[in-house]
Chain A
Amino acid sequence: MIAEIGQFSLILALVFSTLLATLPLIGSLRGIDNLLLLAKPAARALFLLTLISYVCLTLSFLNNDFSVAYVANTSNSYLPLIYKISGVWGGHEGSLLLWTLILATWTMAVSFFSKGIPEIMVARVLSVMGMIGFGFLLFTLLTSNPFDRLFPVPLEGRDLNPLLQDVGLAIHPPMLYIGYVGFSVAFAFSVAAMISGRFDAAWARWSRPWTNIAWLFLTIGIALGSWWAYYELGWGGWWFWDPVENASFMPWLIGTALIHSLAATEKRGVFKAWTVLLSVFAFSLSLLGTFLVRSGVLTSVHAFATDPARGLFILIFLTIVVGGSLTLFAWRAPKIVSRVHFNVVSREMAILLNNIFLGILCFAVLIGTLYPLVIDALGMGKISVGPPYFDFIFMVIGIPLTAMIGVGTLIRWKNDRIDRISTPVMVAVALSLGIGFSSPLLMGHYSLGAGVGIATGLFVIVLNLANLMARTSKGKRLRGLKSTPRSFYGMVVAHIGIGVFIIGVTMTNTYSVEKDIRMIPRDIHNINGYEFSFQGVTTVKGPNYQAIQGHFDVTKEEKKLTTLRPEKRTYLVQQNPMTEAAIDAGFTRDLYVALGEPLEEAKAWAVRVYFKPFIRWIWLGALIMALGGGLAASDKRYRRTRQSTNTSSSTIDSTPLSAS
């Protein structure tokens, strides 16, 4: 019964998305106000229906209703409660429903937080989002219905994949999807602007907070995935350049470029056509990611429920959405008038360079991901493109980009002089080169690459702090800091996050120690002054698994630090063994132990012992970046405009399309 309610509301949601996608848009084009005003109620109804459907699926999980095929495939009555809730998105069908729900949530959010925006614009934006919603609802109902029944009803479910029975992974997909799907708002604003043919600063200002919020969630989502891969996969890596990771990274790169070009468009009225194009790209890449992930055209460590029919559907959908918006762009963009008037030394130029570099990085990720496919499609054989390629490109292009971040934020809009900023830049160069190239001396061996990486990271941090100081004069510093807008803090904080991230990556990649060793109980192994003493193994029992647990006492300079207990788990339903690494996390280093296979009839064990310096800085950097995004999105400016324009511009701008 519950499943049927879920199914029914999903169909109703499809109906409402059809209404939303068509009526308000027609109303906006023909100047029919009544149709226009349907947008908001329809958006909210769409959200409510999708939510009901989602809740029904969750209830089916909680009730262990194995007559629902999806529940039988991804759950089990012994599954702990939290994983029953997160198990809803533990498979293709449910995660698609979550995706749709998040899209409906964004749509609803736009309907509520759009007070200062003319009704006609809101109607068009919501209509475009309704179209996307329609596509995904249709996709769910036609190819991946989570409410399909199973007969005969199995007594027990096949359980959630053990790898997904983890808190980090439980919250990773929602974060990632909020980010992915959030770019649909910026996309919808751009399409709406293209339909109306009006590109003013207001359009960019409306788009900005939405884009910032989407970006911050995507940042957190990617960071969570990386963190999870690190502790759960048992080989201590944090990024594998896997097609699926790349699929989430590409929208991030373009989204980052978009945030910057939106700033330039809003503040200076430049790069309008380019900004529109970027917002189309950011969302297109989210869709492309979905295609790559769910169609099976690429092999990935992250294995998916792949089905050519699904791949075909997404490809057609992608073609309509992206092809349609790019056609609109080709038609409308020539009419966009940008007020280009800036010097070579200007913030505009810095943002242009930022966009070029980020665009090229995204292009490299795209071409690296798709190249094997292209070579194959052309019948030229099979090749692999892996970490060595991506690392190389990001080193060569990413380091100059990072160095530019520091300088770019100091430069003023429109027209600036090099000599105005040369003093702080030179000081920062001296400082970061000095510290950067001497700090590897403190480590085990000297590495020039580490010097470059640390210096670059420091350069960004130092210059951004200097920038903050420069805004405030001596004596009135505290008042100056208080009056500094949040968006400025957001910029400084996010950039500092990048610096922290770069330092973390550099240190981890250069100075990690990874040892695969054989240990018998009472064996002691020394890594970088840390003594790992193996105490043997015991058997432990979890709620739905059994595990062999190793005990490792870690001491440094005769002082006991901690006991690490890595596990090898065997889950009762899906019998594959799982490695649970034990990690002693620290600000400057992680100690990481994973238990391998028993050797010589369990007298000895294969053990992986890692020393990972500064690895926390990688995720810390990402979190700082996300914090920056949040600060920028919460700037007073966006809220104030809403309130002030609320009273002034409630008239409906009903310019028909033909007249614009």
Chain B
Amino acid sequence: MNIGCQKPLLITIVLFFSVITSPFGHGQQEIFTFSTAKQETTYQALIKELRCLVCQNQNLADSNAGLAQDLRRKTYEMVIAGETRSQIAQYMVNRYGDFVLYRPQVNRSTFILWFSPFIFLVLLISLAFHFIRKTRKRSQSSDYSEEQLAHIKSLMQDKR
């Protein structure tokens, strides 16, 4: 399959850091001018969060594939026309699907992605505290000293 007919997208390299197209590739690095600084930040943020679809794993800002250039231009035009960040993102999603977004939308299918780290964090921390309180209670109720207890345990282990 020849995607977009850009320069080879798949040079086979094995090393952990190796990249497909040189950043300036073959197309032209377009130079855009903005009337307000806010528009420029919106544009810069967008092209960093939108994925270049024909590249292996690059955002629009870093890629120089033809499609990336077109989508940068489109993004620029929409920013200049006063559209908001989410409007432009939605425009891209409508055309290319969720794949185009590097920041996955929060919805039912990405709920686990966004929230599970925090849920597990809270869960594990409370487990840790629970665990300590439990073992402390147990050791307080025990008549043996810590050393004695360890000794007994090691004896039991050896028996087994």
Contacts and interface: CB of A to CB of B under 8 A. Distances in A.
A299 interface: yes
A contact face: mostly helix, strand, loop, or mixed: mixed
B116 to A, nearest CB: 7
Nearest to B114: A389
B23 A579 contact: yes
B132 to A, nearest CB: 6
Given A344-B129, A367-B112, A172 B17 contact: yes
Interface residues of A, number: 90
A382 B98 contact: yes
Given A173-B15, A349-B132, A381 B98 contact: yes
A300 interface: yes
Contact of B14 (A91, A349, A380, A606): A91
A299 B57 contact: yes
A603 B125 CA distance: 62
B18 A164 contact: yes
Given A356-B121, A386-B59, A393-B117, A302 B150 contact: no
Contacts of A596: 24, 29
B22 interface: yes
Interface residues of B, number: 71
Interface in A571-608: 574, 576-579, 594-597, 599, 606, 608
A583 to B, nearest CB: 15
Nearest to A86: B15
A375 interface: yes
Interface in A117-163: 161, 163
B99 A225 contact: no
Contacts of A233: 19, 23, 62
A172 B120 contact: no
Nearest to A91: B14
Contacts, number: 228
A303 B17 contact: no
A342 B132 contact: yes
B157 interface: yes
Nearest to B19: A301
Interface in B89-104: 97-104
24 contacts: A92-B12, A164-B13, A225-B16, A225-B17, A242-B57, A301-B20, A306-B12, A337-B154, A340-B131, A340-B135, A341-B136, A341-B146, A344-B129, A349-B128, A357-B121, A360-B120, A367-B117, A381-B109, A384-B51, A385-B102, A387-B48, A516-B29, A577-B24, A597-B24
Given A176-B16, A337-B156, A389-B113, 7 more contacts: A91-B12, A244-B16, A339-B146, A340-B135, A381-B98, A386-B49, A606-B31
